[in-house]
Chains A and B, each alone.
Chain A
Amino acid sequence: MVNPSVPFTDERLPNGLRLIIAEDHLAPVVAVNIWYAVGSKNEVPGKTGFAHLFEHVMFQGSRNVKKAEHIALVQAAGGTINGTTWLDRTNYFETLPSNQLELALWLEADRMGTLLDALSQENLDNQREVVKNEKRSSYDNRPYGSWSEKLQAHLYPEGHPYHHPTIGSMADLDAASLEDVSAFFRTYYAPNNAVLAVVGDVDPAVVRTWADRYFGGIPANPAIPPVGDMTLPPTLGAEIRETVTDQVPLPRIYFGFRAPVVGDRRLDALEVAMQILAGGKGSRLDRRLVRDDQIAQDVVAFVLGFIGGGSIAAGWATLKPGVALERVEAAYLEELDRLTREVVTDDELARAKALIETEELGALSRVEERADRLAMNATLFDDPALIDTMLGRYLSVTAEQIRAVAAEVFRKDNRLVLTYLPASGSTEEAAE
Chain B
Amino acid sequence: MSESTVIATRPTPGHPRPYDFPAFERATLANGLQVITAQMPGRPLVTASLILRNGAADDAPDVAGATSLASRAISEGTERYDAVALVEATERLGAGLHADAGWDASTVSIEVPVARLEPALDLLAEVAAHPTFPVREVERLREERLNDLLQARAEPRRRVDEAFIGTIYKPSSPYHQPSGGLAGTVGTLDADRLARAWRRGFDPRRMTLILAGDLDGAGGGGPVAMAERLLGGWVLAPGATAIGGSVSSESAINSLVIKLLDRPGSVQTEIRVGHVGVPRRIEQFAALSVMSAILGGLFNSRLNMKLREEKGYTYGASAGFDPRRGAGPFSARVAVNTEVTVPAVVELLAELDRIRQEPVTAAELAAARDFLVGVFPLRFETPGPVVGALGGIVVHDLPDNELATYRPRIEAVSAADVQAVAEARIHPDRAAVVMVGDAARIVGELEAAAIGSVEVIREDEAAEPGA
Query: With A and B bound together, what is the CA distance between A64 and B4 in angstroms?
Result: 13
Contact call B10/A103, Cβ cutoff below 8 A? yes
Query: With A and B bound together, what is the CA distance between A73 and B43 in angstroms?
Result: 30
| B 129-175 contacts with A by CB, 8 A | 140, 143-144, 146-151, 153-156
Nearest chain B CB to A25 CB, angstrom units:
9
CB contacts (< 8 Å) of A97 on chain B: these are: 13, 16-17, 19, 374, 377-378
Contact call A361/B374, Cβ cutoff below 8 A? no
At the interface, yes or no: A326 with Cβ under 8 Å from chain B?
Answer: no
Given A99-B14, A114-B6, A358-B45: A79 in contact with B378 (beta carbons within 8 A):
yes
At the interface, yes or no: A205 with Cβ under 8 Å from chain B?
Answer: no
Q: Closest chain A residue to B4 by CB distance?
A: A113
Contact call A113/B375, Cβ cutoff below 8 A? no
Contact call A247/B154, Cβ cutoff below 8 A? yes
Query: With A and B bound together, what is the CA distance between A137 and B267 in angstroms?
Result: 9
Interface residues on B, range: 35 or more
At the interface, yes or no: A324 with Cβ under 8 Å from chain B?
Answer: no
Contact call A64/B6, Cβ cutoff below 8 A? yes
Contact call A249/B151, Cβ cutoff below 8 A? yes
Contact call B87/A282, Cβ cutoff below 8 A? yes
CB contacts (< 8 Å) of A355 on chain B: these are: 91, 94, 96
Q: Closest chain A residue to B366 by CB distance?
A: A76
Query: With A and B bound together, what is the CA distance between A1 and B3 in angstroms?
Result: 51
Interface string of A17-49 (1 = CB under 8 A from B): 000000000111100000000000000000000
Contact call B43/A365, Cβ cutoff below 8 A? yes
Q: Among A127, A141, A358, point to the contact of B335 (Cβ < 8 A).
A: A141
Given A128-B312, A218-B6, A358-B113: A75 in contact with B146 (beta carbons within 8 A):
no
Given A1-B113, A132-B337, A280-B87: A431 in contact with B374 (beta carbons within 8 A):
no
Query: With A and B bound together, what is the CA distance between A71 and B144 in angstroms?
Result: 41
Q: Closest chain B residue to A223 by CB distance?
A: B1
Contact call A219/B2, Cβ cutoff below 8 A? yes
Given A29-B381, A320-B147: A141 in contact with B267 (beta carbons within 8 A):
yes
Which of B8, B154, B310 neighbours the largest number of chain A CB atoms within 10 Å of its CB? B154
Q: Among A29, A99, A138, A365, point to the contact of B13 (Cβ < 8 A).
A: A99
Interface string of B1-27 (1 = CB under 8 A from A): 111111110110111111100000000
Given A102-B14, A130-B312, A247-B154: A113 in contact with B6 (beta carbons within 8 A):
yes
Contact call A430/B148, Cβ cutoff below 8 A? no
CB contacts (< 8 Å) of A100 on chain B: these are: 13-14, 374
| B 368-390 contacts with A by CB, 8 A | 370-371, 373-378, 380-382
Interface string of A74-85 (1 = CB under 8 A from B): 011111110000
Q: Among B2, B92, B305, point to the contact of A68 (Cβ < 8 A).
A: B305
Nearest chain A CB to B87 CB, angstrom units:
4
Nearest chain B CB to A421 CB, angstrom units:
13
At the interface, yes or no: A321 with Cβ under 8 Å from chain B?
Answer: yes
At the interface, yes or no: A412 with Cβ under 8 Å from chain B?
Answer: no
CB contacts (< 8 Å) of B17 on chain A: these are: 28, 97-99, 201
Q: Closest chain B residue to A141 by CB distance?
A: B268
Query: With A and B bound together, what is the CA distance between A95 and B375 in angstroms?
Result: 9
Interface of B is mostly: mixed
Q: Closest chain B residue to A1 by CB distance?
A: B113
Nearest chain A CB to B267 CB, angstrom units:
5
Q: Closest chain B residue to A132 by CB distance?
A: B337
At the interface, yes or no: B115 with Cβ under 8 Å from chain A?
Answer: yes
Contact call B371/A347, Cβ cutoff below 8 A? no
At the interface, yes or no: A152 with Cβ under 8 Å from chain B?
Answer: no
Given A1-B115, A78-B373: A103 in contact with B13 (beta carbons within 8 A):
yes
At the interface, yes or no: A372 with Cβ under 8 Å from chain B?
Answer: no
Contact call B144/A114, Cβ cutoff below 8 A? no
At the interface, yes or no: A143 with Cβ under 8 Å from chain B?
Answer: yes
Contact call A133/B111, Cβ cutoff below 8 A? no
Q: Closest chain A residue to B11 by CB distance?
A: A102
CB contacts (< 8 Å) of B309 on chain A: these are: 67-68, 126, 130
Contact call B378/A29, Cβ cutoff below 8 A? yes
| B 294-333 contacts with A by CB, 8 A | 298-300, 305, 308-315
Query: With A and B bound together, what is the CA distance between A122 and B84 in angstroms?
Result: 58
At the interface, yes or no: B42 with Cβ under 8 Å from chain A?
Answer: yes
CB contacts (< 8 Å) of A63 on chain B: these are: 6, 8
| A 193-210 contacts with B by CB, 8 A | 201
Query: With A and B bound together, what is the CA distance between A68 and B312 in angstroms?
Result: 13
CB contacts (< 8 Å) of B93 on chain A: these are: 354
| A 170-224 contacts with B by CB, 8 A | 186, 201, 213-214, 217-219, 221
At the interface, yes or no: B433 with Cβ under 8 Å from chain A?
Answer: no
CB contacts (< 8 Å) of B41 on chain A: these are: 26
At the interface, yes or no: A341 with Cβ under 8 Å from chain B?
Answer: no
Contact call B377/A28, Cβ cutoff below 8 A? yes
Contact call A294/B382, Cβ cutoff below 8 A? no
Contact call A217/B150, Cβ cutoff below 8 A? no
Query: With A and B bound together, what is the CA distance between A133 and B183 in angstroms?
Result: 32
Contact call B367/A72, Cβ cutoff below 8 A? yes
Q: Among A28, A80, A131, A281, point to the contact of B16 (Cβ < 8 A).
A: A28
Q: Among B14, B148, B266, B312, point to the contact of A133 (Cβ < 8 A).
A: B312
At the interface, yes or no: A248 with Cβ under 8 Å from chain B?
Answer: yes
At the interface, yes or no: B112 with Cβ under 8 Å from chain A?
Answer: yes
CB contacts (< 8 Å) of A57 on chain B: these are: none
Q: Among B146, B147, B155, B375, point to the contact of A143 (Cβ < 8 A).
A: B155
CB contacts (< 8 Å) of A109 on chain B: these are: 6-7
Contact call A221/B267, Cβ cutoff below 8 A? no
Query: With A and B bound together, what is the CA distance between A73 and B183 in angstroms?
Result: 47
Nearest chain A CB to B431 CB, angstrom units:
23
Query: With A and B bound together, what is the CA distance between A325 and B312 in angstroms?
Result: 41
At the interface, yes or no: A225 with Cβ under 8 Å from chain B?
Answer: no
Query: With A and B bound together, what is the CA distance between A68 and B263 in angstroms?
Result: 34
At the interface, yes or no: B44 with Cβ under 8 Å from chain A?
Answer: yes
CB contacts (< 8 Å) of A413 on chain B: these are: none
| B 22-53 contacts with A by CB, 8 A | 41-45
Contact call B337/A78, Cβ cutoff below 8 A? no
At the interface, yes or no: A233 with Cβ under 8 Å from chain B?
Answer: no
Query: With A and B bound together, what is the CA distance between A264 and B149 in angstroms?
Result: 41
At the interface, yes or no: A350 with Cβ under 8 Å from chain B?
Answer: yes
Query: With A and B bound together, what is the CA distance between A218 and B3 in angstroms?
Result: 7
At the interface, yes or no: B95 with Cβ under 8 Å from chain A?
Answer: yes
Contact call A282/B88, Cβ cutoff below 8 A? yes
CB contacts (< 8 Å) of B370 on chain A: these are: 76-78
Contact call B156/A79, Cβ cutoff below 8 A? no
Interface string of A100-128 (1 = CB under 8 A from B): 11110010011011100000000001111
Query: With A and B bound together, what is the CA distance between A64 and B8 in angstroms?
Result: 6
Nearest chain B CB to A345 CB, angstrom units:
11
Contact call B267/A140, Cβ cutoff below 8 A? yes
CB contacts (< 8 Å) of A297 on chain B: these are: 144, 147-148, 151
At the interface, yes or no: A357 with Cβ under 8 Å from chain B?
Answer: yes
At the interface, yes or no: B336 with Cβ under 8 Å from chain A?
Answer: yes
At the interface, yes or no: B258 with Cβ under 8 Å from chain A?
Answer: no
Nearest chain A CB to B388 CB, angstrom units:
15
Contact call A72/B314, Cβ cutoff below 8 A? no
New A-B contacts (15) at CB < 8 Å, excluding given A76-B367, A78-B371, A186-B1: A29-B381, A79-B378, A97-B17, A97-B19, A100-B14, A106-B7, A127-B312, A129-B313, A130-B312, A133-B312, A219-B2, A297-B151, A355-B91, A355-B94, A430-B146
24 cross-chain CB contacts under 8 A? A26-B41, A75-B300, A75-B371, A78-B374, A96-B374, A96-B378, A99-B14, A102-B13, A106-B10, A133-B268, A136-B268, A137-B268, A141-B267, A141-B335, A143-B155, A186-B1, A214-B6, A217-B4, A218-B6, A219-B4, A321-B147, A358-B95, A358-B96, A431-B147
- Report which A residues bind B (CB closer than 8 A): 1, 26-29, 63-64, 67-68, 71-73, 75-81, 95-103, 106, 109-110, 112-114, 125-134, 136-138, 140-143, 186, 201, 213-214, 217-219, 221, 247-250, 280-282, 287, 290-291, 294, 297, 318, 320-321, 347, 350-352, 354-355, 357-358, 361-362, 365-367, 426-427, 430-432
Q: Which 9 A-B pairs have the closest CB atoms?
A: A78-B374, A129-B312, A113-B4, A217-B5, A354-B94, A28-B17, A351-B91, A99-B14, A282-B87
